[in-house]
């Protein structure tokens, strides 16, 4: 094949990355229109596409430095900027908008720093990079950051009445992203073959709950993840004391 020709399949991962970025940008647009459910759904879609593009790059042997940098830039838009804008528009654009915006900026900057740290650690030995993440990954941080929106859309609480708490929460999620806390990596999860069927059934049940009670299910998922992070932080602290 000529050096100036490129197999079309090698562009597929980058195309998926760009689609994810477009979803994040569109979420910002729908936030301006106060169509918050669509905006939140688009950020979730961007997270799904973010998981797919890396998988495609590995399966198609199409991983490139260009694709890695493009993915990082798209992640900043979709998981740093878009969630911050959505939470600001949904819960913080009121009397305390100035203070709320400061914490949104903290969240976005922390997402940027988390992605930058991930970029420079890509060349780490495989064993060190797959056991766990250091800090909450940007996509997971975005899902956690959207918890106030999920609570409102699920009808659990009118979070716009508590802007200061929402602002503090956004700042806290940002700090989790840049923390040194070891967080779970799906690549390191191993299950017994006999239990595989139960995992599949559980995922089917989760998908069904998402279909019928989307926002309430996402609230529960975020709370479970926060509980896991709390347990890991406690265990790490105990380990340091024991050492």
Q: Which domains does the chain have, with CATH numbers?
A: 8-185+193-242 (1.20.120.1760)
pLDDT for 1:
47
Q: With b meaning 16 or more CB within 10 Å and e meaning fewer, what string describes 96-111? A: beeebeebbebbbebb
Q: How many CA atoms within 13 Å lie on the side-chain side of 172?
A: 13
Residue 120 structure tokens: 């420079």
Residue 94: predicted pLDDT: 80
The answer to whether 175 touches 114, Cβ cutoff 8 Å, is no
CA dihedral 111, 117, 122, 127 (to 10 degrees): -100
What is the rounded distance in angstroms from the CA atom of residue 54 to the CA atom of residue 225?
A: 23
- In this prediction, residue 88 carries a pLDDT of 95
Q: Are 105 and 44 in contact (CB under 8 A)?
A: no
Q: Report the C-alpha gap between 104 and 193 in whole angstroms.
A: 44
Of 150, 125, 155, residue with least CA distance to 225: 150
* Greatest Cα pair distance in the chain: 62
Parts of the chain with a pLDDT under 70: 1-9, 122-131, 187-189, 239-243
Q: For residues 100 and 170, what is the distance between their CA atoms, to the nearest angstrom?
A: 9
Q: Which residue has the tokens 């950020």?
A: 43
Res 243: pLDDT: 58
Output the pLDDT for position 41. 96
Cβ burial of 21 (10 Å; 0-12, 13-18, 19+) is buried
Task: Count Cα atoms within 13 angstroms, Cβ side, for 32.
Answer: 4
């Amino acid at each position: 094949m000529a050096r100036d020709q490129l197999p079309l399949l090698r562009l597929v991962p980058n195309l998926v990355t760009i689609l994810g970025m477009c979803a994040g940008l569109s979420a910002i647009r729908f936030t301006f229109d106060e169509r918050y459910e669509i905006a939140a759904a688009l950020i979730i879609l961007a997270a799904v596409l973010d998981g797919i593009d890396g998988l495609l790059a590995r399966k198609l042997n199409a991983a490139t430095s260009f694709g890695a940098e493009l993915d990082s830039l798209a992640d900043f838009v979709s998981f740093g900027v878009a969630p911050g804008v959505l939470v600001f528009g949904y819960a913080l654009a009121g009397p305390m908008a100035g203070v709320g915006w400061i914490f949104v900026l903290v969240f976005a900057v922390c997402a940027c720093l988390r992605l930058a740290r991930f970029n420079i650690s890509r060349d780490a030995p495989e064993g060190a990079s797959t056991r766990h993440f250091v800090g909450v990954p940007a996509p997971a941080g975005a899902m956690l950051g959207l918890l106030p929106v999920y609570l409102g859309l699920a009808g659990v609480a009118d979070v716009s009445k508590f802007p200061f708490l929402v602002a503090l929460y956004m700042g806290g999620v940002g700090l989790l992203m840049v923390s040194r806390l070891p967080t779970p990596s799906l690549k390191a999860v191993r299950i017994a073959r006999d239990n595989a069927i139960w995992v599949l059934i559980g995922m089917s049940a989760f998908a069904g709950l998402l279909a019928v009670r989307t926002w309430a299910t996402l609230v529960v998922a975020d709370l479970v993840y926060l509980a896991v992070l709390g347990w890991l932080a406690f265990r790490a602290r105990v380990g340091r004391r024991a050492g």
